[in-house]
C-alpha cells in the first residue's frame, strides 16, 4: 500500500461508529484459524517428533509460535517445529496448501494451479519444486529378483535461464540438432524389478564405471539383471564384477525375450514417463529430478494419489548431505 493510500484509509476510520470500531479491533486482533494442511502435518509429527536440525528423538515441548507447537532438542539444544528441515518451512499461504497438493495429484499446469489457489504464477512454479523436493529422494533403495535396467534420454535444456550457454535458444519442446545420441541428450538410468520397485538415476555419462556406480548400491547380489543388448557391455561388466547373473537381449536384432526374461516392464515405464513429460513442453535439466520423483509417486500411488498424500510427502525432512 502506498503512503498516500494509507493516510486516506486512516482518515476514513474516524467516520466509523463505536460498534464498527470494536468489530474492526476484534477482527484485527483475532488469530487466523489453522489450515487443514497444518493440522494434518502436525498430527503426524506429534506422534513421533524428531529434531529438524540433527534428527534426534530426544526432545521436549517448548511452547508454540506461528500457530505451530515448538520443541527443544536435548542433543543440539535448538528449537524446532513440524516444518523445520522440510521443504515447506517458511512457506506462506498455508490455507491453500491442500488445494495445491490436489493440483499436483491431478498433474495440472502451473497456470491452472495458480488460478485454482489464487497465487501468482511465479509462486506456483516455486511451490511445485518445493512440494516435490522430498519426492526426489523417495525411490527404491533395493531391487531384487528379476531386475530390468535400461536407459532413456531427455533433451538437455536450459529452460528459464536468463542466458543460454553453449548454443542458440530453441523453441519450447524442440528437438536436438544432432541425430541419435549426443551431448544434447541427458541419459537417465531406470531400474525396475518384477514387484514394480523402481529407481532412477541421472547419469553424467554412459561409461561402464558410471553405470556400475549407479547400480551397485541398489541391485541385490542374488538378483538376475536383464538389459538391452545394445548396452550389454556396461551391464555385463557390472554383473561380472559383482558376481550377479546377467541376461543381455539383442533387441535390435528382434530378440525381445529369452525364455521368461525380458525388459518390457522397464521399457513400459520409460515410455509412460516420456509420454507424461511431453505435457510440460520441455523441462529444464536442473529440475529433472523433481519430475522423475513426481512420476515415481504417480506410478506408486496410481488412483490413490491425492492432496493428503502430496502434502504428507512434501512435509518429509530432506536428507541432510554431509
Domain boundaries, the chain: 34-84, 86-137+285-322, 139-158+181-283
> Which residue matches cell numbers 526374461?
261
Q: How confident is the model at residue 20 (pLDDT cuts 50, 70, 90)?
A: low
* Cα–Cα distance, 231 to 38 (Å, whole number): 48
Q: Which pLDDT score is estimated for 173?
A: 53
Block residue for cell numbers 494434518 = 40
pLDDT at 33: 54
Q: Give SS3 for 254.
A: coil
Residue 29 predicted with pLDDT over 50: no
Least confident of 89-93, 143-147, 230-234: 230-234
Query: What does the pLDDT read at residue 89?
Result: 93
Strand-strand pairing, 185-193 and 59-65: unpaired
pLDDT at 23 exceeding the cut of 60: no
Confidence tier at 142 by pLDDT (50, 70, 90): very high
Does this model's pTM top 0.85? no
CB of 181 within 8 A of CB of 151? no
- Taking the C-alpha atoms of residue 72 and residue 83, their distance in angstroms, rounded to an integer, is 14
For residue 200, which of 215, 185, 210, 222 has the smallest C-alpha distance? 215
181 contact partners, CB below 8 Å, separation of at least 6 = 153
Taking only the tens place, the pLDDT of each residue in 203-223 is 999 899 999 999 999 999 999
CA-to-CA separations, 37 to 30, 34, 40, 82, 248, in angstroms, rounded: 20, 8, 5, 12, 48
The pLDDT of residue 255: 83
Q: Quick check: 139 and 200 in contact, CB under 8 A?
A: yes
Residue 67 — very low, low, confident or very high, per pLDDT cuts 50/70/90? confident
Between 191 and 34, whose confidence is greater?
Answer: 191
How does the average pLDDT of the chain come out, rounded? 86
Closest CA to 267 of 147, 145, 143, 149: 149
pLDDT of residue 265: 96
- 139-158+181-283: CATH topology: Nucleotidyltransferase; domain 5 (3.30.420)
DSSP 25-72: HHHHHSPPPPPHHHHHHHHHHHHS---TTT----EEEEEEETTEEEEE
Which of 6-10, 118-122, 250-254 is the least confident region?
6-10
Amino acid at each position: 500500500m502506498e503512503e498516500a493510500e494509507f493516510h486516506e484509509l486512516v482518515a476514513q476510520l474516524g467516520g466509523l461508529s463505536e460498534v464498527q470500531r470494536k468489530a474492526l479491533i476484534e477482527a484485527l486482533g483475532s488469530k487466523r484459524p489453522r489450515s487443514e494442511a497444518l493440522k494434518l502435518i502436525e498430527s503426524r509429527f506429534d506422534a513421533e517428533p524428531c529434531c529438524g536440525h540433527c534428527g534426534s528423538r530426544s526432545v521436549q515441548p517448548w511452547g508454540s509460535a506461528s500457530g505451530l507447537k515448538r520443541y527443544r532438542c536435548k542433543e543440539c539444544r535448538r528449537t524446532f517445529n513440524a516444518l523445520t528441515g522440510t521443504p515447506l518451512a517458511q512457506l506462506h499461504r498455508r490455507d491453500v496448501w491442500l488445494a495445491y497438493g490436489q493440483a499436483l495429484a491431478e498433474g495440472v499446469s502451473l497456470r491452472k494451479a495458480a488460478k485454482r489457489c489464487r497465487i501468482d504464477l511465479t509462486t506456483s512454479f516455486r511451490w511445485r519444486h518445493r512440494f516435490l523436493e522430498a519426492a526426489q529422494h523417495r525411490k527404491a533403495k533395493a531391487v531384487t529378483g528379476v531386475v530390468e535396467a535400461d536407459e532413456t534420454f531427455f533433451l538437455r535444456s536450459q529452460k528459464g535461464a536468463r542466458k543460454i550457454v553453449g548454443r542458440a535458444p530453441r523453441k519450447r519442446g524442440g528437438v536436438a540438432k544432432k541425430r541419435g545420441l549426443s551431448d544434447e541428450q541427458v541419459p537417465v538410468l531406470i531400474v525396475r524389478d518384477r514387484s514394480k520397485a523402481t529407481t532412477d538415476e541421472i547419469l553424467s555419462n554412459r561409461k561402464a564405471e558410471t553405470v556400475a556406480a549407479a547400480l551397485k548400491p541398489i541391485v541385490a547380489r542374488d538378483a538376475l539383471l536383464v538389459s538391452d543388448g545394445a548396452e550389454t557391455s556396461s551391464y555385463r561388466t557390472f554383473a561380472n564384477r559383482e558376481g550377479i547373473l546377467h541376461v543381455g537381449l539383442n533387441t535390435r536384432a528382434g530378440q525381445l525375450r529369452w525364455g521368461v526374461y525380458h525388459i518390457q516392464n522397464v521399457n513400459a515405464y520409460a515410455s509412460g514417463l516420456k509420454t507424461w513429460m511431453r505435457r510440460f513442453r520441455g523441462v529444464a535439466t536442473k529440475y529433472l529430478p523433481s519430475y522423475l520423483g513426481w512420476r515415481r509417486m504417480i506410478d506408486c500411488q496410481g488412483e490413490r494419489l491425492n492432496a493428503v498424500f502430496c502434502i504428507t510427502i512434501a512435509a518429509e525432512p530432506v536428507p541432510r548431505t554431509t
